[in-house]
Amino acid sequence: MDRRHLLSALALSFLGACGAGMDGIASRDAVEEQPDAIPEYVLALAAPGQNLQTARLNPEDQCYWYIHNGPVETTEIPLRSGRGRHICLVQEAAAAN
């Protein structure tokens, strides 16, 4: 009987740890409330699981990037659509061709 209680307590603590990791992921509503938020159409394109609170437009490549806090390092990663493609602005010269 004591082993069951111990295993139950361990299982609950592991499940609680899984839910705690979601705090760094921004909801679309939280980003829309910020004055310098990324455009709404970019939010609609963005795949889930990306930190939209840190998303920004990189002026060098005209693509959106976000900051990923990994277990070892923090790095910028391209913001991707649900299909896995980078979300970038279309350049007018390329659009005219």
Kindly report, residue by residue over 13-72, the tens digit of the pLDDT. Answer: 443 333 333 333 334 444 345 545 689 999 999 999 999 999 999 999 999 999 999 999
pLDDT of 90? 82
DSSP 91: P
pLDDT of 66? 97
Tokens representing 35? Answer: 């004055």
1 alpha-carbon distance from chain centroid: 43
Name the residue with higher pLDDT: 34 or 79. 79
Burial of 52 (0-12, 13-18, 19+ CB in 10 A): buried
What stretches of 1-88 show up as alpha helix (H) in DSSP? 2-20, 28-32, 40-45
Burial of 57 (0-12, 13-18, 19+ CB in 10 A): middle
pTM for this prediction: 0.56
Rounded distance between C-alpha atoms, residue 13 and residue 16, angstroms: 5
- Neighbouring residues of 69: CB distance < 8 A, sequence distance ≥ 6: 24, 51
Per-domain boundaries in the chain? 2-96
